[in-house]
């Protein structure tokens, strides 16, 4: 996330993130930076809530241990779904944010940046969910592509506007 923000501040001329020109990131005020940070933090919360909702809905015996959810007596299939629940929740919320939020919102832009950064960097920063998915690089790649699509696409595109009509 920090690396992505630095790249936006320095380069990426002509790029857009959630419909916002990359050049605009050089001139953000404090409120807009705060919105970006809150949006990115919300992406992490959506990921965590995906795990919690799945565990509770499935009746799994689990507990929170710092940044990890510990699951007891679960089948391999339940563990796989527990691993993917965070990614799927993040992307589902991201799609809803894309369709229903204010186009070019800094809060939404921060959410999409946080989601893309977290999912893309998962193999480097935290292998927990990927271990539950049995190290499925293909599944991780699909989630990464979806997250980057949500981040780089413009919410004013016809595809997103038609979904709300």
d(CA 21, CA 106): 12
Residues 6+ apart with CB under 8 A from 122: 129, 130, 140
Give the dihedral sign, CA 95/96/100/106: negative
pLDDT tens by residue, 59-68: 999 999 988 8
- Ranges of residues in the chain with a pLDDT under 50 are 1, 8-10
pLDDT tens by residue, 92-123: 999 999 888 886 789 999 999 999 998 888 87
Query: Phi then psi for 17, rounded to 5 degrees?
Result: -120, 115
In the chain, where the domains are located: 2-163
Nearest Cα residue to 151 out of 122, 114, 101 = 114
Q: What is the pTM of this model?
A: 0.83
């Amino acid at each position: 996330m920090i690396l992505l923000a630095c790249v936006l501040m320095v380069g990426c001329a002509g790029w857009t993130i959630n419909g916002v020109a990359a050049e605009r990131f050089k001139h953000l005020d404090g409120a807009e930076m705060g919105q970006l940070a809150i949006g990115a933090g919300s992406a992490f919360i959506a990921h965590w809530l995906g795990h919690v909702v799945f565990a509770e809905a499935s009746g799994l015996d689990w507990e929170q241990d710092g940044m990890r959810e510990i699951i007891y007596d679960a089948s391999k299939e339940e563990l796989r779904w527990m691993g993917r629940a965070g990614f799927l929740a993040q992307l589902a919320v991201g799609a809803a944010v894309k369709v229903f939020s204010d186009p070019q919102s800094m809060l939404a832009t921060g959410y999409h940046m946080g989601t893309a950064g977290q999912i893309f960097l998962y193999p480097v920063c935290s292998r927990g969910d990927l271990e539950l998915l049995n190290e499925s690089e293909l599944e991780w790649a699909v989630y990464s592509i979806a997250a980057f699509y949500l981040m780089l696409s413009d919410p004013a595109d016809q595809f997103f506007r038609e979904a709300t009509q």
